[in-house]
Structures are given as structure tokens and as C-alpha cells.
Amino acid sequence: MTEQARQLIIHGTTLAGHRFRPSDWAERLAGVMSQFRPAGSAGSHLTYSPYAVPRVINGVNCVVVDHRLRALEPLAWKFVIEFARDNGLTIEGELE
């Protein structure tokens, strides 16, 4: 049996309850993270990384970040966390 991946969800709503702009922020952030992939994967450079995927959850743009990104590239993990914090975005899940 495989261990379920832990995920962090960055929601496109601010802590003040406003929608975050621009409307394509999730795709942009996931695009920046697209270079980080599992070892040996031959994924296309035109696809998102499995570690940071844009999603719409309950009508809100989000980025789902896999905790394995932290071990693969700690600076990339730090970047997405600081992006969320700097922009006052709602974060769901454990940071550690």
C-alpha cells in the first residue's frame, strides 16, 4: 500500500476575504514550478509539475502543492509559501 501524498492548498482568496488578482495567478505560479518533477520523469516542458497543480475548488482558483516538493527543492517550497504569505492568501494544510 502506498503512502498518501500530503498536500498544501493555496486558495485564491485573501485573508480579508477578497479574490486574489490577476485571475490567472494559479496558472502562473504552477507554470513557474513546472520544472520541478520526480527524478527520471520524462514529462513535457509544456505541462505542470505534479508537485504544484492549479485547480478550481468551490469556484476559487487554487494551487495544490505536494509536500514532496519540499524535499526535492527546498527553495521552490519556500518560494510558494512566501508567495502565499506575501499576498495574504489563505493556506490549507500543514506547512511543516
Which domains occur in the chain, in start order? 47-96 (3.30.70.2340)
Q: What is the pTM of this model?
A: 0.85
Instruction: Provide, for the chain, the percentages of residues in helix, strand and coil under a 3-state DSSP scheme, each rounded to the nearest 5.
Output: 30, 25, 45
Is the preceding peptide bond at 54 cis, omega within 30 degrees of 0? Answer: no
Residue 95 vs residues 18, 44, 79: alpha-carbon distances, Å: 22, 29, 13
Q: Are 60 and 19 in contact, with CB atoms under 8 Å apart?
A: yes
Task: Please give the pLDDT value at position 36.
Answer: 84
The helix/strand/coil state of 45 is: coil
Residue 8 has pLDDT above 90, yes or no: yes
Which residue stretches of 7-67 are H helix?
25-32
